Structure 1
Amino acid sequence: MYIVSVLLLSAIVPLATAQMVRQCGCTEIEQCLGQATGGFMQCADQCQNHVAAMGASYPALRQCMLAKEPVIARAANCQKNNLQNSCSRTGGGMVRKRYPETLKLAAFTEVNSILQRSGIQAEAKAFLSVGKKFAACVMKCMDRGSTGNCYKKLKCGLELPPDSVLVQSTKQCAISAGFDTNGVRQLCNCVAGTGVRNLAPLCNRIVIS
């Protein structure tokens, strides 16, 4: 689930600006939105040492993620549609101050809740620790890279809903796109097959709700 969260948040976190700024124009942000998925894979490559620590073959794990690109694209488009009114079509106006860290915290809290409801939170503790380090590394990389810089250069922000609402809408988009219980179990089993010992028994117990 951490991989799913990172993939989707990579397109959202850069939008949660840490300053009170003017509202972005819809035409301005189009160029940045298209960079998120490609930027994620580049950063995942740079952060591969974290997943390698679990015993995974990173080239094999990378293929697991690449195989889900169509699902990721559908989920991203769904969330893009949900947020279509967050940018300005007429210009002017200011948006409220937002903090990327609180959005990431809300996302990881939801991941923990899913694992708890699935009854595997304790058993997944070691994997969560590694997953969180990988997620933090990727998000930091993206913030410093072309995706993050694209938004920073615009010096604007979006009128986003509260973090908890944003996370739930992202989850619903992910579910409708194919990251439902079966989809996440499939990805989990793919990751387990890359050499991550003791993960396989947990995969088929995950329930996305």
Structure 2
Amino acid sequence: MHFSLLLFLSIVSLATSQMIRQCGCGEIEQCLGSATGGFMKCADQCQNHVAAMGANYPALRQCMLQKEPAITRAANCQKSNLQNACSRSGGGMVRKRYPETLKLAAFTEVNSILQRSGIQAEAKAFLSVGKKFATCVMKCMDRGSTGNCYKKLGCGLDLPPDSILVQSTKQCAINSGFDTAGVRQLCNCVAGTGVRNLAPLCNRITIS
């Protein structure tokens, strides 16, 4: 759940169909820089969603923090992929994007991964909680400094279609350590925090 969430949140805030001013590369740096800290603060505020599954949140938080180096690598990878999405010279216009369509594409891909792993039905309850947690975090970030930073800019990025954006984000995550082994390790860590009935599914997850 967490391995793609931070990357997704960093992009979705800018993927918000009218034409709007293209963001300058320099002006978005501050917003992107605040995303990591903003995510953890919002995760703390939304912890009731994962606590409902029986998780000890401080322990689960440590599972997420252990993955910060991999998250940073994945974020830098995707930032490199999207280096031409912002304007270096100014004056460009881009089509306004809507976060809900990107959110739908992301959850569709998660469903596909679970289906290919053969655990879609068994993981349904966990996916439902994951969606609630992700939605809570996104709303929190939108209300906080990260969301306000983007809103003040009043601009957008020249992003590829949502499905391509999700696939490139996933590939960056895989290359950064969120491959099958990495995701299984994170899943087992989360299961160890007290999440009921998760452990039997962890070693069946296949990232492809």
Instruction: Sort the Cα spacing of 1:145 and 1:67 in 2 relative to 1 into closer, same or farther, 3 A.
Output: same
Alignment match, 1:157 = 156
Tell me the CA shift for residue 178 of structure 1.
0.3
* Contact kept? 1:86, 1:160, Cα under 8 Å: yes
CA contact (8 A) 2:17 2:95 kept: no
CA contact (8 A) 1:21 1:157 kept: yes
Match for residue 130 of structure 1? 129
Q: Which residue of 2 aligns with 1:101?
A: 100
Amino acid at match of 1:36: A
Query: Which residue of the partner structure matches residue 117 of structure 1?
Result: 116
Deviating above 4 A after TM superposition, structure 1's stretches of 4 or more consecutive aligned residues are: none
Per-residue CA deviations over 1:25-77 (Å, capped at 9, x if unaligned) read 11001111111111000000000000000000000000000000000000000
Task: State the 1:18 CA deviation.
Answer: 7.6
Q: d(CA) in 1 for partners of 2:193 and 2:69?
A: 21
User: In the aligned structure 2, how far is the partner of 1:101 from the partner of 1:167?
Assistant: 13
CA distance in 2, matches of 1:17, 1:99: 4
For residues 86 and 78 of structure 1, the distance between their equivalents in structure 2, rounded to whole angstroms, comes to: 14
Q: 1:153 Cα deviation (Å)?
A: 0.5
Secondary structure of the residue aligned to 2:88 is coil
Look up the match of 2:27: 28
Gaps of 5+ in 1: none
Matches within 5 A, 1:183-202: 183-202=182-201
What pairs with 1:82-93 in structure 2 (closer than 5 Å)?
82-93=81-92
SS in 1 for 2:13: helix
Amino acid at match of 2:145: S
State the alpha-carbon separation in 1 of the partners of residues 60 and 30 from structure 2: 29
The CA deviation at 1:20 is 2.9
SS in 2 for 1:56: coil
- TM-score scaled to structure 1, two decimals? 0.98
CA distance in 2, matches of 1:147, 1:14: 8
Give the superposed CA RMSD. 0.9
Structure-1 separation of matches of 2:177 and 2:19: 36
Q: Structure 2: give runs of 5+ residues left out of the alignment.
A: none
Change (3 A) 1:152 1:107: same
Report the counterpart of residue 53 of structure 1 in structure 2: 52
